[in-house]
Structure 1
């Protein structure tokens, strides 16, 4: 793999995600990360399938290296749902609605997952980096963050992601873990 300081397009229109990922990647990442809004098909299936399909489609559309990210939130009580469809739930009912969905259930456990797909070119095989954090769904609290940050409380902590300082969240979030896996991969490539 060619290691350069070329542009890697992060296919997102979410400025918060872009800022968070740039902060997590640091200065020694071999690409300059830029966001690019591209309308991708909405795939259905398991998370790995969705990320691979989105990554290949994006690489073809921009004809170059891309990074896509897919976040999911799975409730244990619902067998892992809403999973990769959580953004539609958030758009419709918000973090408060996610919390209310589990009101009749004793089990409030959930897993927040981030999958980052990387494709160097339209003919490359996508590489997927994963990060998963266990926690629970709580009544929304906090004033920073986005998505389900307000109602997701990581296991062993008393704060939601939204109540944490960005620096603290960036040391343990599902996105942090996926980005770290990506950084390790690129460091190994650089060292070879």
Structure 2
């Protein structure tokens, strides 16, 4: 995986940063032609200072809290590719179940499908849930901390509606909307999704690394967390 800066040389930190996106419903990184990779590129647009190149690799399925899992996966991905990486991990958390399925959503989805996810809450009045996306960024240097960029969208679990080509989207309806993720036009979903919000934090971080434009005294707005 590699990243190149548009319009000039990279700064000292940026030249160690490369990017890819992790596949939501499987191990490793999403292939460049996947729906997820296309969505990431659509959200970032042409103003992002790096070019994304996805690479498919196999990553272990770690146990633990979302942040712990994201950091471990990013560290292992950086070790495998011997360089900088960006790894995505997604959770779908049901409040009635104390946050489950959470980071284990892919296993629940594989076995239960969207209909089964909805049925998990059949005995609960509380159908509320939230989608959490975490991008973990490593420069490739194991001595440097992994940076985390998070995005969260609240909603509720409903009877599945819409296209079935994007994971659990058919059964997640974001707050304030009458449509599920799967029913929304991609352009609309990409302005409110958990992935959009996480990528917005990533963009802010890279904006803080860019040299200031002449005459612009505004401070950088990096929001990465280590």
TM-score bin, normalised by smaller chain? over 0.9
Distance change >3 Å, CA 30–CA 87, structure 1 → 2:
same
Question: Which structure is higher in helix share?
Answer: 1
Task: Please state if 1:8 is matched with 2:26.
Answer: no
Deviating above 4 A after TM superposition, structure 1's stretches of 4 or more consecutive aligned residues are 4-7
Counterpart of 2:200? Answer: 180
Between Structure 1 and Structure 2, the one with more strand by share is 1
TM-score normalised to the size of structure 1?
Answer: 0.94
Q: Which residue, out of 162, 165, 169, partners 1:149?
A: 169
The equivalent of 1:24 in structure 2 is: 43
Per-residue CA deviations over 1:41-60 (Å, capped at 9, x if unaligned) read: 11100000000000011011
Q: Deviations over 1:141-177 (max 9, x none)?
A: 0116511110000011110000000000000000000
> 2:5 — aligned with what?
none
> Which aligned pairs between 1:119-130 and structure 2 lie closer than 5 A?
119-123=138-142, 124-130=144-150
The structure with the larger Rg is 2
Match of 2:209 in 1: 189
1:79 corresponds to 2:90: no
Q: CA-to-partner distance for each residue in 1:71-97, whole Å, 9 max, x for gaps?
A: 001111101011000110001111110
**Does the C-alpha gap of structure 1 residues 133 and 161 become closer, same or farther in structure 2, counting only changes over 3 Å?**
same
Q: CA RMSD in A?
A: 1.7
Gaps of 5+ in 1: none
Asked if 1 retains the 8 angstrom alpha-carbon contact of 2:16 and 2:84, the reply is no
CA contact (8 A) 2:18 2:139 kept: no
* Aligned positions of 1:65-144 closer than 5 A: 65-123=84-142, 124-143=144-163
Unaligned segments of structure 2, at least 5 residues: 1-11, 23-28, 213-226
TM-score (norm 2): 0.80
Q: CA deviation at 1:6?
A: 7.6
